[in-house]
C-alpha cells in the first residue's frame, strides 16, 4: 500500500516540510481549493501544486476532491456544462500524472458532524455525531458549516436546495449519478485516471436528505452502472463503520478482490447503542473497528493503491482544522504502517 497524507495547500496550517518528516508518508493528497466547484481547474495552478509537492520530495498522484456541482447531482438543465468542465479538469489532472480522483455524490453537503471539538477522557478533542445535537442544528442549518465543505451555492440557498433534493428522492439521485458516470468514465479511461467515489458520511439520511451510498448493496449497484475498473471506490472505514449494520471486513474483502478499491481512508470510530458515534485514535482497541483486521485484508490482496490516515484527534494542544491536525494523523500512519510491516515480516519468517 502507498501511504499518503491529506494537505489543504497554502491555507493548511501544516507545512509540507513537517509532513516530509514522517518517514512512511510518501505522497500528498490535495486539490486546487481556490477554484469554485464546477469550474475548470487552471492548468497553471495544477502544475504549481504538483511542483510544490514534488519540491518537498513527495508525490502528487491522488486528488481529493474534484467537487461535483449541485446542478449535476440534481440533474438541472445546466448540468452538461458542468460535466464538460469536470471532464476537462480530469484531462488536465491525468496529463499532470494524477492517478486517482476521490469525489462524492452526497446532496447539499458532504460529511456531517454535530460536534467538532468533543473532549475525550484522555483530554484530546474529536469530531462526533449526536442525534440530540442534530435536533438543535436543524432549525439553524442555513447558518451551520463544517471545515472543508465544498459548497457550490450561497449558504442562504441551502433550505431551498434541501427541498429540491427531498423532492428528487434517492432514485432521482441514482439516475443523475448514472448520467454523470456515463459521461465521465470514458474520459477517465482515456487519461488513465481512476475515479473513486466516497461513501455517505455518516451512512444514513441526514436532515431528511436522501443518501445513496451507505451499504454494500449500494456499492454493488454503483459498480454495475459502469463495469470499467476506472469506476471505483474510496473505501472509508470511518464512514461505513459508523453503521453497525455494515460488514466492514466483508465489504473490504469483496471489493479489494474485484480490484475496485482505488483509495482507502482508514479511521476508527467508537459507536454507541443509540446511533451516536465519535472519532477515536486509529488503534483498534480505541474504537469499534478492528483496524488490524482491515490491514490484514488489504495485505492478503496485496493492495497496491493509496491509503491515508483519515481524521485524527486534536492532541498536544495543536490548533488548526478539526480532524486534520498533524500529530494524531502521523501517529495513525505509523500504527497502520507498523501493522503492514509486521505482516510482511511474519510472511518473510514463514517463507524463510
pLDDT at 282: 95
**Partner residues linked to 194 by β-bridges:** 100
- Average pLDDT value for residue range 144-155: 72
Give the long-range contacts of residues 336-339, CB within 8 A, separation 24 or more: 336/3, 336/266, 336/282, 336/291, 336/295, 336/307, 336/309, 337/3, 337/24, 339/291, 339/292, 339/295, 339/296
Distance, in Å, from the CA atom of 162 to the CA atom of 175, rounded to the nearest integer, reads 18
Q: State percent of the chain over pLDDT 70.
A: 97
- Of these residues, 110, 200, 253, 310, which one is catalytic? 310
Could you report the per-residue pLDDT of 12-65, keeping only the tens digit for each?
999 999 999 998 999 999 999 999 999 999 999 999 999 999 999 999 999 999
Identify the pLDDT of residue 145.
77
Q: Is 301 a catalytic residue?
A: no
> Residue 352 pLDDT > 60, yes or no?
no
Among candidate residues 236, 255, 282, 306, the one labeled active-site is 236
Q: Is 236 known to be catalytic? A: yes
The answer to whether residue 310 is catalytic is yes
Looking at residue 30, what is its pLDDT? 98
Catalytic, 12? Answer: no
Confidence of residue 142 (pLDDT cuts 50, 70, 90): confident
Where does residue 183 rank: exposed (0-12), middle (13-18), buried (19+ CB within 10 A)?
A: middle
Between 142 and 66, name the one with better pLDDT. 66
Quote the DSSP letter at residue 65: -
Question: What per-residue confidence (pLDDT) applies to 140?
Answer: 82
Q: Which candidate in 103, 253, 311, 328 is catalytic?
A: 311
Residue 16: HSE in the Cβ half-sphere, 13 Å Cα cutoff: 21
The chain-wide mean pLDDT, for the chain, equals 94
Residue spans per domain, the chain: 2-351
Residue 10 confidence (pLDDT)? 87
Return the higher-pLDDT residue of 152 and 281. Answer: 281
Of 69, 165, 198, 282, the active-site residue reads 198
pLDDT one-digit tens code per residue, 238-265: 999 999 999 999 999 999 999 999 999 9
User: How much is the pLDDT for 152?
Assistant: 67
Q: Which of 265, 306, 328, 335 is catalytic?
A: 265
CATH top-level class of 2-351: alpha beta
230 tagged catalytic? no
Give φ, ψ of 138 to 5 degrees. -55, -45
282 is catalytic: no
Amino acid at each position: 500500500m502507498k501511504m499518503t497524507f491529506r494537505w489543504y495547500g497554502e491555507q493548511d496550517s501544516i507545512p509540507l516540510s513537517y509532513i516530509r518528516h514522517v518517514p512512511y508518508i510518501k505522497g500528498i493528497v490535495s486539490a486546487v481549493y481556490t477554484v469554485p466547484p464546477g469550474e475548470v481547474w487552471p492548468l497553471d495552478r495544477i502544475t504549481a501544486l504538483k511542483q510544490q509537492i514534488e519540491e518537498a520530495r513527495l508525490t502528487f498522484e491522488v486528488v481529493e476532491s474534484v467537487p461535483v456541482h449541485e446542478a449535476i447531482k440534481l440533474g438541472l438543465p445546466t448540468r452538461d456544462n458542468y460535466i464538460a468542465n469536470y471532464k476537462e479538469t480530469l484531462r488536465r489532472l491525468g496529463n499532470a500524472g494524477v492517478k486517482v480522483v476521490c469525489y462524492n455524490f452526497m446532496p447539499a453537503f458532504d460529511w456531517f458532524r454535530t460536534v467538532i471539538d468533543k473532549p475525550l477522557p484522555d483530554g484530546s478533542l474529536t469530531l462526533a455525531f449526536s442525534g440530540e445535537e442534530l435536533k438543535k442544528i436543524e432549525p439553524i442549518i442555513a447558518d451551520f458549516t463544517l471545515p472543508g465543505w465544498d459548497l457550490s451555492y450561497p449558504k442562504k440557498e441551502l433550505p431551498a436546495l434541501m427541498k429540491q433534493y427531498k423532492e428528487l428522492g434517492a432514485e432521482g439521485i441514482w439516475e443523475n449519478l448514472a448520467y454523470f458516470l456515463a459521461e465521465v468514465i470514458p474520459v477517465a479511461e482515456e487519461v488513465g485516471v481512476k475515479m473513486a467515489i466516497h461513501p455517505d458520511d455518516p451512512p444514513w439520511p441526514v436532515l431528511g436528505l436522501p443518501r445513496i451510498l451507505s451499504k454494500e448493496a449500494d456499492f454493488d449497484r454503483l459498480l454495475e452502472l459502469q463495469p470499467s475498473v476506472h469506476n471505483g471506490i474510496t473505501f472509508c472505514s470511518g464512514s461505513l463503520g459508523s453503521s453497525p449494520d455494515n460488514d466492514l471486513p466483508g465489504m473490504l474483502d469483496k471489493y479489494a478482490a474485484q480490484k475496485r478499491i482505488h483509495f482507502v481512508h482508514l479511521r476508527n470510530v467508537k459507536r454507541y447503542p443509540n446511533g451516536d458515534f465519535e472519532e477515536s485514535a486509529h488503534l483498534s482497541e480505541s474504537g469499534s473497528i478492528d483496524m488490524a483486521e482491515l490491514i490484514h485484508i488489504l495485505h492478503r490482496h496485496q493492495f497496491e493503491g493509496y491509503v491515508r490516515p483519515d481524521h485524527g484527534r486534536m492532541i498536544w494542544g495543536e490548533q488548526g482544522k478539526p480532524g486534520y491536525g498533524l500529530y494524531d494523523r502521523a501517529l495513525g500512519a505509523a500504527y497502520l504502517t507498523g501493522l503492514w510491516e509486521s505482516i510482511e515480516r511474519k510472511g518473510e519468517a514463514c517463507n524463510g
